[in-house]
Amino acid sequence: MATNRIYNVHTHIFDFKCVPSGFLTNYLPRALVTVLTPLLRWYPTAWLLSRVLGLVPVRMVKKYKAFLAVGIRNTPQLIFEDMANAYTDENVGFVVLPMNFEYMGGGVSPANYATQLQLVADVKRAYPNKCFPFLGVDPRMGSAIEVLNFVKSYFEPSFRGFQGIKLYPALGFFPTDERLELMYAYAEEKGIPVLTHCTRGGAFYAGRTVPPALLQYRTFNPTPVTTAWHNQPFYNQLTTLPPKDSCDAFLDPVNYYDILHRFPNLKLCFAHFGGDDEILKFLKNPAASTGNIVTGYNITTSWYYIIKDLMAKFPNVYTDISYTLFDTETKDGIVAAIKSDLQSAIGSRILFGTDFFLALQEKDEKSLYTEFRTALASGPLWDQLTYINTKNFLSTSFYTMP
């Protein structure tokens, strides 16, 4: 089914005003952030720093440089337009993913989360057929009924243009938190897609340490699978780890077994397919990277493999290849692995995304998608990845994607 329409299911357009100063400690030393924060809020010095950081050969620093270079001056609408301009030869719809930074232990943002959502809504009004925003949800926003009512307010009594729900557990919560249970039930009933960050790294809780209470596993539907998993020795060591490592516990795809066991028809997308590192780990040593979700995994099991296992067991589990697709080097086999997966039983639930603008540290947006399209050989697999699969994922009882 050839089409001239494609969807990018994973992009960001929030600017520097939407993040708290503590967010910067995810990428730079805390003492340095304290000194630099006032300067980073002023365009000339922030611009200079973005150039200096580009010379530092550390991946997390490069990622912050990419964010700083885009977000220090532009508004969300200008960022969106810059992204769209990379697709001048394509008819593209973009899923925009706001993030709620208010509970990550990083302080207060100049523009709070409500303001960020309003700015995104403005972009939606300006580009109604190109911008398809999700709601960033955090269980610490309130009780289960308050979280549900927040979500419902963007879909009922009239549809307000928001297409789905975004979770970013590494900011300090388990996706199985009981305050999210009613939200999942509503999303399953209405066909609202839920997309969750699922790769090691990225943003994480910004305090010096993660409070032990946050690291205590909480779930509205405990199953033997996750009970056994969270009794593993490595989970007992979480409070001794720095946030960048302990926050992986929030992202662990095994957690979602509790959710999917209760809501088996929930449309749930694991962003990034577990991450390029997890794909490479599996490709280099499959024997040490597998297992079974019922009989048990081990500490070396690849998140890429776990996600595929969940996709095989639950009919509406999806994944996207955002950020992961930047590596088109055939020696690493990532593109070959994705192409093989697209031709397998789970192929109808793999989605195209780029992770603009955070992937700019690797490649510019146009190169990112054109090189991957060439590597995939375009044709039916490209149509399946960029249009057919994503249209099915994004369509809800409120709105059918064009």
The average confidence (pLDDT) of the chain is 88
State the CATH number of the domain containing residue 206. Answer: 3.20.20.140
User: According to the model, what pLDDT value does residue 125 have?
Assistant: 96
| Distance in angstroms (rounded) separating the CA atoms of residues 21 and 38 | 9
pLDDT tens track for 82-131: 899 999 878 999 999 999 999 999 999 889 999 999 999 999 999 999 99
Q: How confident is the model at residue 19 (pLDDT cuts 50, 70, 90)?
A: confident
Q: Identify the domain containing residue 161 by its residue range.
A: 5-18+75-394
The answer to whether residue 65 sits within a structural domain is: no
User: Is 401 contained in some domain?
Assistant: no
Given a cut of 60, whether residue 10 has pLDDT beyond it is yes
Residue range 223-233, pLDDT digits in tens = 999 999 998 88
In a domain, 43, yes or no: no
Flag whether 23 is in a domain. Answer: no
pLDDT category of residue 202 using cuts at 50, 70 and 90:
confident
Question: In this prediction, what percent of the chain has a pLDDT beyond 90?
Answer: 63
- Classify residue 338: in a domain, yes or no: yes
141-170 pLDDT per residue, tens: 999 999 999 999 999 988 889 999 999 999
Residue 27 lies in a domain: no
- The residues near 260 (Cβ < 8 Å, ≥ 6 apart) are 266, 268, 310, 313, 314, 317
Q: How far, in whole angstroms, is CA 32 from its chain's centroid?
A: 27
Q: What is the pLDDT of residue 329?
A: 55
Q: Is the pLDDT of residue 44 over 70?
A: no
More confident residue, 2 or 281: 281
Whether the per-residue pLDDT at 133 is higher than 90: the answer is yes
Query: For the chain, what is the domain count?
Result: 1
Is 231 domain-assigned? Answer: yes
Least confident of 22-36, 75-89, 213-227, 374-388: 22-36
pLDDT at position 1: 40
| Angle subtended at Cα 391 by Cα 63 and Cα 383, rounded to the nearest 5 degrees | 80
CA 17 to chain CA centroid, Å, is 20
Is 51 a member of any domain?
no
Q: What is the pLDDT of residues 235-287, one digit of tens each?
A: 889 999 999 999 999 999 999 999 999 999 999 999 999 998 999 999 999 98
Q: Read off the pTM.
A: 0.92
pLDDT at 2: 43
